[in-house]
Amino acid sequence: MELMDAYGSPLYVYSRTDIENNWREFDQAFGAHPHLVCYAVKANSNIAVLNVLAKLGSGFDIVSIGELERVLKAGGEASKCVFSGVAKTVIEIERALEVGVRCFNVESESELDRINTVAKSIGKKAPISIRVNPNVDAKTHPYISTGLKENKFGVDIGEAIDLYKKANNADYLEVQGLDCHIGSQITDVSPFLDALDKVLALVWQLNDEGISIHHLDLGGGVGIDYDGEQTINIKAYIDAIINKVGQTEIILEPGRAIVGNAGIFVTKVEFLKQNSEHSFAIVDGAMNDLLRPSFYNAYHQVLPVNENATGTKAQWDLVGPICETGDFLAKNRDLSLSEGDYLALMSAGAYGFSMSSNYNSRPRVAEVMVSGENHQLVRKRESVQDLFAKERLYEG
Cβ atoms within 10 Å, residue 200:
17
Q: Write down how long the chain is.
A: 396
Q: Known binder of ligand: residue 114?
A: no
Q: Known binder of ligand: residue 292?
A: yes
The DSSP symbol for 365 reads P
Q: Known binder of ligand: residue 70?
A: no
Q: Known binder of ligand: residue 256?
A: yes
CA 224 to chain centre: 12
Q: Known binder of ligand: residue 102?
A: no
Contact between 108 and 87 under an 8 Å Cβ cutoff? The reply is no
Q: Known binder of ligand: residue 131?
A: no
Could you tell me the maximum CA-CA distance found in the chain, to the nearest angstrom? 72
Q: Known binder of ligand: residue 254?
A: yes
Q: Report the C-alpha gap between 392 and 155 in whole angstroms.
A: 43
Per DSSP, helices labelled H in the chain are 2-7, 16-29, 47-56, 65-73, 90-99, 109-122, 160-169, 190-208, 234-245, 256-259, 292-296, 384-387
The DSSP symbol for 156 reads E
Catalytic residues, which ones?
323
Q: Report the C-alpha gap between 150 and 153 in whole angstroms.
A: 9
Q: Give the closest residue to 239 by CA, choosing from 5, 87, 394, 29.
A: 29
Contact between 81 and 101 under an 8 Å Cβ cutoff? The reply is yes
Q: Give the closest residue to 128 by CA, choosing from 86, 67, 78, 179.
A: 179
Q: Give the closest residue to 136 by CA, choosing from 200, 182, 179.
A: 182
Q: Give the closest residue to 214 by CA, choosing from 253, 168, 169, 181.
A: 168
| Binding site per annotation, positions for substrate | 256, 292, 296, 324, 351
| Binding site per annotation, positions for pyridoxal 5'-phosphate | 221, 253-256, 351
